[in-house]
Every structure is written in structure tokens, then in C-alpha cells.
Amino acid sequence: MGSKGFAPEPISGIVEKVEPLPNEPLPDELGRRLAELLGADRVVTDPVRLRTYECDGLTNHRSTPGIVVLPDTAEQIAAIVRECAAAGVPYVARGSGTGLSGGALPRADGVLIVTSRMRRILEVDIPGQRAVVEPGVINLDVTRAVRQYGYYFAPDPSSQQICSVGGNVAENSGGAHCLKYGFTAHHVLSCEVVTPDGEIVELSADGPGYDLLGVFVGAEGTLGITTKITVRLTRLPETVQTLLAAFESIEAGGAAVSAIIGAGVVPAAIEMMDALSIEAAEAAVRCEYPPGAGAVLIVELDGPEPEVAAQFAQVERLCRDAGAFEIRIAADDAERTLIWKGRKSAFAAVGRISPAYIVQDGVIPRTVLPQVLARIDALSAESGVRVANVFHAGDGNLHPLVLFDDAEPGAEQRAEEVSGAILDLCIEHGGSITGEHGVGVDKSRYMPRMFTEADLDTMQMVRCGFDPAGLCNPGKVFPTPRLCGEVPGVRKGPHPYEGKADLF
């Protein structure tokens, strides 16, 4: 049995990990078989090209894949998975590589299955309010294809111009508007999936039997690879209204959020930025948010016109009551874009005020926001590490940006410590270690702080059902793999390629 398949994933460390290039760059037995299946031009073994796949959107975890394959069809993916299973070689699926938790981090001893060639929108069914797409289709392209009919695909992660729907499925992606519209799980009706056995199966939300789709979405690619996705299309709202409110303090902004939610308004989005992130956005994109603001709040309402008109007036009043010293209302799409510009650029903009930074993703019950922010301030003051805060304020999803100078010895470590302490605050207040970026390799070590051993063991029972050999994106989500007991149908004799060639 290929012991490599069971090698524990190194627990993610503080410093950047760069794994050595594979010793054997030429195609070996597995590589040759894959080339036979797909054609040599769909199999990457050249070390220089392999290096371009060494990380996803989270660049501090790197690992050059053993082989990269670029399949065109579900049948090819199934055949690749069967080859990997027979050889006991781990494999990882990758869409656009925009993930922020190392969920698609390749394995040096494994195959990286890239879905970027599978970009067809197979079907648009407006009467049925759904579309069928391949996994490599870009999120925003779904909306582009159906907007003319008055529809869109609701999940809108900030990477939506480049991220893939397959990746959205793996990560259960959200976005600024998931407060009202929910996550990818709520917008996927079925997935065709290549199982770790190499079979093609359709999982659907309301078919007979277990809702395996429900657990597949958000499993971070550890239960199989989706090859076709039926998404629900959402009717475009009749109107969208956006305002920007400036407050002297985060507390005042937080009070406005509480008042809005308390009044029974469900905005499409409520976003908040603190002074430091405003400063960064200003430096980067000149968003010209009101000067002197300790916090800005962006509130967006959408829906039928009479509904939005009434609630928007209410929101405006609640913001003033909470102490907003300036309110700007977008009169048209151009002004709305301007309001969103600062928020959308916030992560990248922090690069203007700091040489390096960590984007954190944690969740707290929204009502404890003031306490948690005070604790983050205290952490920052004690450590001397600056933290800029950007939040999806409506659902308590924090994105603290922890700033450091990577030229300064020890600075990254201090930043990592502060970043980790923020997650501890989230857990302590009954929240979560990730609201949308996923666990991946980056946060698996935090899982035991949020869940008991029995909790994690139970989740992994699902994994054992799907992937008893543990070859499908191993080392992600869970800090320690569960032994699955008897593995049905798994070869126990000598490795099929044993003695013929070094695997990689």
C-alpha cells in the first residue's frame, strides 16, 4: 500500500513553507498512464510549470505538486481518480486557486487536478430558475450569462471575478450579500460528483435518501470532486439602494447595526470598516470616505421598490440616531460603485500602509462586537501589532487585517500570534474560526479548540464513508485523520508499481 497516501500533512507552521522540488521531474508510471488518458499536453510534469501551482490564494503555505493534470471532462476526472486510488496516491482538486485557507494546497507526493479547462455553461433554464455549469466556470460568468433574463447567481465572494463555481461549492462561499441571500449551499441544487472510488454520482438537495449534497458543499474538496453543478438562479431585485454612514467610533457604528437588525430590517449587506482600514483604502483608491471617521458603515437594501423605499428611510434615520455625522446615498450605479470601492479594495489596500499583513476570518455573535473589538484593541496595544478591521457587520464575520513588516525579524511571528489570539476570542465568545475562508491547512490546528474530539471524529465518519483510503485532499480541515477501520476494496498486497519506478 502506498504509504505516501497516509503521510500526515505537516501542521501548518508560522513561517513560510517551501517544499523542495520533486527529485524525479520526468513522468513516471503514473504520469505516463495519466498522459495516455488525457494526452501529454494535459499533464504537467515540468518543474518550472509545476511551481506555478504551488499555492492558492494563501501564499504562506506552498507545496509543489508532483503532477498537474488538466482534464476536460468528468469521465477523465473519474479515470484520474481511479488511477490515483489504484496507486495509493493522494490528489487535490483546484479551481481558480483563489482560496484563502490553503484548501487546494497541492501535495508534493500527489496529483493536482485543475478544473480550469472545464468552463462551459451547459444549460440555462429560466423557467426552472436554474443553470448547469462545469466546475471551472467563473462565478461572475454565471451571472453574466443570465442577467439578460433578469437573473443572477447570488453567492458573491469578493474574488467572484476569478473564482470558480467548483471552488465555491468546496468552500461553501459566501460574500457580502450572504446576510440576506445565504451561502453557496443554499444556491446549489445538485452536483455531479466523482467519488473517491472514481465513480460518477449525482448528489441532490431534495432527492430520496441522505442529503449528501448538503455535507459535500463546504467539505473543502475532501469528499470528492464536483464535475457539474446545478445552481439556483435568483431574480434580480427591482431596486438596490446603498448608503454610506460615517461615525466617530466603531461603537457608534455597531450601535447603528444593532438598531437596524433590531428593527427587523434584513439588509442585503452591512459592512463596516475602522479608521485604519479607511486610511488604507484612502491611500490605495482615494475612495474619499468622510474625513475623520472612526468607522464607516455601508448598508445596502435590495428588493421590491416600495419595500426598499420604506426601509431605507428607516435605516437612514437609525444611522443618524446612532450618531452618524455624515450619510451619503448612492444616487446611481456609479455612486454605488464609488461607495463600495473603498470596502472592496480594503484587503489589498492594506499593502499601502504595511509591507505585509495577514487576513484573518473569524465570526462572533454580532451582539458581542463591542467587547471583542475592545479585546482586539488591547491585544494590539500589548503587542504593538497594528490591526485594521473590516467586518461583515450584519452577521458578525470579522476580517481583521494584522499588519507587520516582513523585513523585521520576529514580526511575522508576533503577527501570527495576534491573529491566532483573535480566533481564540471568537471561540471564547461562541463564534467560529472561519466564516467564509474555510479551514484548509491553515486552520486545521484550531479545530480542536472549537470542537471536541468526538465532534471531529463524527464529522470524519462522513469522510470515512466517502473516502476510506484518505486520498481525496488529505490533510485539510481535520488536524488528525481518523482511522476508517476496514477499508472495503482497498488493495492490501504489494503496491502495483512497487519496484518499477519511484513514484515521483
Partner 1 sequence: MQPIDALAKVCGDVRPGEPAEGVLGVEPALVAAPKDASEAAEVMRVAAEKGLAVVPRGAETRLDWGTPPERCDLLVDTHRMDGLIEHAAGDLVAKAEAGQPMERLGALLAERGQRLALDVPLPGSTVGGTIATGASGPLRTLYGTPRNLVIGLTIVRADGQIARSGGKVVKNVAGYDLGRLFSGSFGTLGLIVDATFRLHPVPSAAAFVSCQVTGPEDAFDAVQTVLHSAVAPSALEYISPGTVAVLLEGVPEGVDVRARQIAELLGENAEITESAPDGWGRYPDGTTLIDVTAPPPALRDVLTTLGPETAVTWSGSGQGHVGVPTGSTPEKVATVLGELRGVLSRHRGGAVVRYAPEEVRGEIDVWGPVPGLALMRRVKDQFDPDHRLSPGRFVGGI
Instruction: Give the footprint of partner 1 on residues 91-110 (CB under 8 A).
Output: none
Part of the chain binding partner 1 (CB under 8 A), chosen from 14-22, 56-64, 193-201, 289-297: 193-201
Beta carbons within 8 Å of 2's beta carbon, 6+ residues apart: 87, 88, 89, 495, 503
Within residues 160-189, the interface with partner 1 by CB under 8 A covers 171-172, 174, 178, 182-183, 185-186
Instruction: Closer to partner 1 by CB, 1 or 215: give it.
Output: 215
Instruction: Closer to partner 1 by CB, 65 or 396: give it.
Output: 396
Instruction: Closer to partner 1 by CB, 191 or 338: give it.
Output: 191
Beta carbons within 8 Å of 358's beta carbon, 6+ residues apart: 401, 402, 404, 415, 416, 419
For residue 362, the cross-strand partners are 398
Instruction: Closer to partner 1 by CB, 204 or 249: give it.
Output: 204
Instruction: Closer to partner 1 by CB, 25 or 465: give it.
Output: 465
Q: How far is CA 353 from the centre of its chain?
A: 25
Identified binder of partner 1 from the candidate list 124, 236, 275, 327, rule CB under 8 A: 236
Other residues' Cβ atoms within 10 Å of the Cβ of residue 39? 12
Q: How far is the CB of 118 from partner 1 (least distance, A)?
A: 20
Q: How far is the CB of 388 from partner 1 (least distance, A)?
A: 20
Identified binder of partner 1 from the candidate list 77, 284, 439, 472, rule CB under 8 A: 439
Report how far residue 443's alpha carbon sits from residue 82's, in angstroms, rounded to the nearest whole number: 29
Report how far residue 316's alpha carbon sits from residue 327's, in angstroms, rounded to the nearest whole number: 8
**Size, binding site for partner 1 by CB under 8 A:** 96
**Residue bearing cell 482497498:** 490
Instruction: Closer to partner 1 by CB, 92 or 393: give it.
Output: 393
Q: Which three cell numbers stand for residue 151?
A: 437573473
Report how far residue 281's alpha carbon sits from residue 348's, in angstroms, rounded to the nearest whole number: 8
Q: Which three cell numbers stand for residue 290?
A: 468622510
Within residues 366-425, the interface with partner 1 by CB under 8 A covers 366-367, 392, 395-397
User: Do the Cβ atoms of 40 and 48 come closer than 8 Å?
Assistant: no
User: Do the Cβ atoms of 153 and 233 come closer than 8 Å?
Assistant: yes
Within residues 268-307, the interface with partner 1 by CB under 8 A covers 303-307
Q: How far is the CB of 395 from partner 1 (least distance, A)?
A: 4
Identified binder of partner 1 from the candidate list 7, 35, 37, 205, rule CB under 8 A: 205
Part of the chain binding partner 1 (CB under 8 A), chosen from 45-53, 160-168, 324-332, 454-462: 454-462
Contact between 428 and partner 1 per CB under 8 A: no
The C-alpha angle with vertex 98 and arms to 93 and 100, in degrees rounded to 5, equals 100
Q: How far is the CB of 74 from partner 1 (least distance, A)?
A: 14
Identified binder of partner 1 from the candidate list 30, 50, 146, 261, rule CB under 8 A: 261
Q: How far is the CB of 376 from partner 1 (least distance, A)?
A: 17
R_g of the chain computed on alpha carbons: 23
Q: How far is the CB of 137 from partner 1 (least distance, A)?
A: 19
User: Do the Cβ atoms of 169 and 51 come closer than 8 Å?
Assistant: no
| Nearest residue to 29 (alpha-carbon basis) of 43, 19, 12 | 43
Contact between 332 and partner 1 per CB under 8 A: no
